[in-house]
Amino acid sequence: MNRISIILLVLVSLGFSGCKGTNTDRQENQSVSDANAGQNVPKRTDLIKALIVDGQNNHEVWPKSTIMMKQYLEETGLFEVDIHRTRYTWNAKREADYLPLAGVGETTDLENPQSDPDFSPAFEKYDVVISNFGWKAANWPEITQKAFEKYIADGGGFVSVHAADNSFPDWLEYNRMIGLGGWGDRTEKDGPYVYYTNEVELIRDSSPGSSGAHGPSHSFPITVREKDHPITRGMPEVWLTTKDECYAKLRGPAENMTILATGKDISGNAPTDRHEPMLMVIDYDKGRIFHTTLGHDDYSIESVGFIVSFVRGAEWAATGEVTIPVPADFPSADKSTSRPFELNPKRP
Ligand SMILES: [Zn+2]
263-300 confidence digits (pLDDT tens): 999 999 999 999 999 999 999 999 999 999 999 999 99
Gap from CA of 254 to ligand 1 centroid (Å): 21
The reply to whether 269 falls in a domain is: yes
- 309 assigned to some structural domain: yes
Name the amino acid, one letter, at 177: M
- Distance from residue 20's CA to the centre of ligand 1 (Å): 64
Ligand 1 centroid – CA 348 distance (Å): 29
Distance 32 CA to ligand 1 centre (A): 51
What pLDDT, in 10s, does the model give residues 236-257?
999 999 999 999 999 999 999 9
Task: Give me the CATH number covering residue 57.
Answer: 3.40.50.880
Q: Determine, yes or no, domain membership for 299.
A: yes
Does the residue 336 lie in any domain?
A: no
Please check the confidence at residue 221 and state whether its pLDDT lies above 90.
yes
Q: Check residue 346 and give its pLDDT.
A: 73
- pLDDT reading at 340 higher than 60: yes
- Overall average pLDDT of the 295-318 stretch: 98
pLDDT-derived band at 35 (thresholds 50, 70, 90) equals very low
Establish if 41 belongs to a structural domain.
no
Q: What is the mean pLDDT of residues 27-49?
A: 52
Q: What angle do CA 211, 215, 219 make, to 5 degrees?
A: 125
188-216 tens-digit pLDDT: 999 999 999 999 999 999 999 999 999 99
Q: How far apart (Å, rounded) are the C-alpha atoms in residues 52 and 251?
A: 25
Compute the distance from residue 245 Cα to the ligand 1 centre, in Å. 6
pLDDT: is 184 or 10 the higher one?
184
The answer, yes or no, to whether residue 20 has pLDDT greater than 70, is no
Stronger pLDDT, 288 or 40, i.e. the higher one: 288
| CA of 12 relative to ligand 1 center, distance in Å | 76
Q: From CA 168, how far away is CA 171, in angstroms rounded?
A: 5
- Compute, in angstroms, the gap from residue 15 CA to the centroid of ligand 1: 73
Q: What is the pLDDT of residues 153-162, one digit of tens each?
A: 999 999 999 9
Domain containing 54: what range?
47-319
Q: Cα of 298 to ligand 1 centre, how many Å? A: 11
Of the chain, the percentage scoring pLDDT greater than 90 comes to 86
79 Cα–ligand 1 center, Å: 26
Within-domain flag for 40: no
Residue 79 within a domain: yes
Instruction: Map residue 75 onto helix, strand or coil.
Output: helix
Residue 18 has pLDDT above 80, yes or no: no
> How many CA within 13 A on the CB side of residue 180?
30
- CB-based contacts of 24, cutoff 8 Å, min separation 6: none
Q: Tell me the percentage of the chain whose pLDDT exceeds 70.
A: 86
Residues lining ligand 1 (ion), CB within 5 A? 245, 296
Q: What pLDDT was estimated at residue 348?
A: 54
Residue 139 lies in a domain: yes
The whole model's pTM is what? 0.87
Expressed in angstroms and rounded, the spacing between residue 63 Cα and the centre of ligand 1 is 15
Cα 120 to ligand 1 centre (Å): 26
The pLDDT of residue 29 is above 80:
no
Say if CB 219 and CB 300 are below 8 A apart.
no
Distance 18 CA to ligand 1 centre (A): 68
**Do 337 and 303 contact (CB within 8 A), yes or no?**
yes
CA of 210 relative to ligand 1 center, distance in Å: 17
Q: How many domains does the chain have?
A: 1
